[in-house]
Structures are given as structure tokens and as C-alpha cells.
Structure 1
Amino acid sequence: MHRIFGSKENIQYCDREGAYVIPVCNGKIGVIHTPKGYFFVGGGIENGESHSDCVKRESLEETGYTVSVKAKVCSAETYCFHNEIGYFHPVQTYYTGEFISKVSSPTEDDHEFLWIKYENIKGKMFWEMQNWALDIVYKQYIFRLS
């Protein structure tokens, strides 16, 4: 399942492919809270990096946890204007996964990892496309279990 947000204009965009994990534990979803808002654990893929390697690296940086990347949930992209980047086209792929063990402190000081109930995070993710992916995870993985 893939969805496009925003409208592509006849302008040069900065493309960025990213991979993210949406962990679920005891009916709660793991997210990162920063001064900008709520995000999934993950980020931009570095040169030659696989989606799984990206998620594992980003998880260590943002949470200090090792992670097991599981099934692909969906993907999305958006066309937008970013205050620091300019015209921006992030393409994000979302996976289920589990946190395995805490092996270090996060290296990103302004990132706080939280477990939040779906009802308390619904519609509050920074990216509209992450809100969409959150709803899919809720319907496929949480709602079915309750």
C-alpha cells in the first residue's frame, strides 16, 4: 500500500528516502518526541544502506535500543516546502518491529522515546503521512488484538 500526499509542482525537489519502524507493545506504539513534534523511529537512508540497516542505525541513535525489523506495513511520500531544506520530497517506508535490548544512551539529546496509546497519539504525528501509517498499524495490528 502506497499513498502520495501534497501536490507535485514543476519545481526541483530535494528527494530523501527513509525507513521507519512502528513498534507495538501492550497496545502502545513507540514514537520519538522532539521539540518539533512526534515521529516514528527511523530516518533518511545513507548511501548504500538497506532499509533494515537504516532502521537499526537510527534506532540506536534515537533510542539506544537494538531493533528487529519485521514486515513492511506501507509506504508514503509527500511534496512540501520545508523551512530548512526548501522544496522537499520525502519517501518513507514503514515496518513493524520489536525493540530487543537497550545497549547505549541515545546520541540525539532532543529525542525522547515514548510508548503511547493510539488514542493519545492519533492525528498528532508531525507528518500527515505518518498519521496515515499510524492508522494502518492500528487497524492491522492493534485493533485486531483488542
Structure 2
Amino acid sequence: MQTNPVFGVKKDGIEYVKRTGSYAVIYEDTIGEVALVKNVKGHYFLPGGGIKEDESLEECIRRECIEEIGFKVNIKKCIGSAIQYFQSPNNHKYYLSEAYFYICDREEQQNPAEKENTLVWMKPIEATKQLVHEHHKWAILNSLT
């Protein structure tokens, strides 16, 4: 798998916490919209998150989709990977996010485990304007080709 673009700026003298994660790009074909997670602060993300110890990228994405949006998913295709440097507004730590993105189909819906998040459907172009992370925007744009 080819490693794709790097987003954000790596600042000299800063120690970054590396976080590897996997994220789902899920389309609702009948309305042409993509699934996003909206957190309590009103920030938008792709469904997914950090890998737990001894968890594969695929296991991570399946777990995170159930936790965040209540979808069991079928992983169809890897879009690619991208890296982003950023500082968290929550704890002010610096992170190096190594993210892997997959096009997924939803198989079944249940109640999400995390009640603080909201599932939002949005047109892909609008989603690229709302998403917090640049590498999430990159994944949506690359899923359209």
C-alpha cells in the first residue's frame, strides 16, 4: 500500500504522540451522502479512531463504527493512508496521526455505544468543508475517483 500525503506542519523541537487509526467512508447511495460523526463540540470526523493493542486496522474500523454510529460495516476497498500533524484543542498535546481509510458499506444498524456522538449524512463536497482533519477531507475526495 502506498503511503499518501502528509498534512499539517511538523514543528521542530516538539515531541509528537503517534496515533495509528482507521476510518470509514460510508456512502448512502440513494441520497449521495457520506456518514460523518458530529461530536458534542460540533466538530465533524469520519467514523473511526485509534487502534487498540493487538487490533488490526479492519478490526478497529468495525469496532469504532459500532461504537460511534451503530453500524456494522463491510470493508470494501482501501482508499489509502495519510499522515497529519496537529495539536489537540482538548489536551494541547501534539499528535502524529497515521490514518488508513476504507470505503465501507453498512450492513446493519443498532444503537451506538457512544451516546455523545451524532450520525450526520452530508454531501461529500459539503463534508470536505466541515471536517476537522485535512486527511479526512483527502480520503473523501479520493473515494470519489
Regarding TM over 0.5, the answer is: yes
Match for 2:60 among 47, 54, 62? 54
Q: How many residues align?
A: 138
CA distance in 2, matches of 1:134, 1:40: 9
Show the counterpart of 2:36: 31
The 5 A counterparts of 1:64-143 are 64-83=70-89, 84=91, 86-102=93-109, 104-138=110-144, 140=145
Kindly provide the amino acid, as one letter, of the partner of residue 115 in structure 2: D
Once residues 84 and 37 of structure 2 are traced to their aligned partners in structure 1, the CA distance between those partners, rounded to angstroms, is: 20
TM-score, normalised to structure 2's length?
A: 0.87
Q: Which runs of 5+ in 1 are unaligned?
A: 141-146
Aligned equivalent of 1:15: 18
Distance 1:20 1:125 in 2: 13
1:85-124: CA deviation from partner (whole Å, max 9, x where unpaired):
511111111000111012x311211211122112332321
TM-score normalised by the chain length of structure 1: 0.87
**Separation (CA, whole Å) in 2 of partners of 1:7 and 1:114:** 29
Distance, in Å, in 1 between the alignment partners of 2:61 and 2:51 is 9
Aligned partner of residue 108 in structure 2, secondary structure? strand
Unaligned runs of 5+ in 2: none
Output the aligned Cα RMSD: 1.5
The match for 1:6 is: 8
Q: Which runs of 4+ in 1 moved over 3 A?
A: none
1:68 counterpart SS class: strand
**1:40 corresponds to which residue?**
46
Q: Secondary structure at the match of 2:129?
A: coil
The amino acid that maps onto 1:90 is S
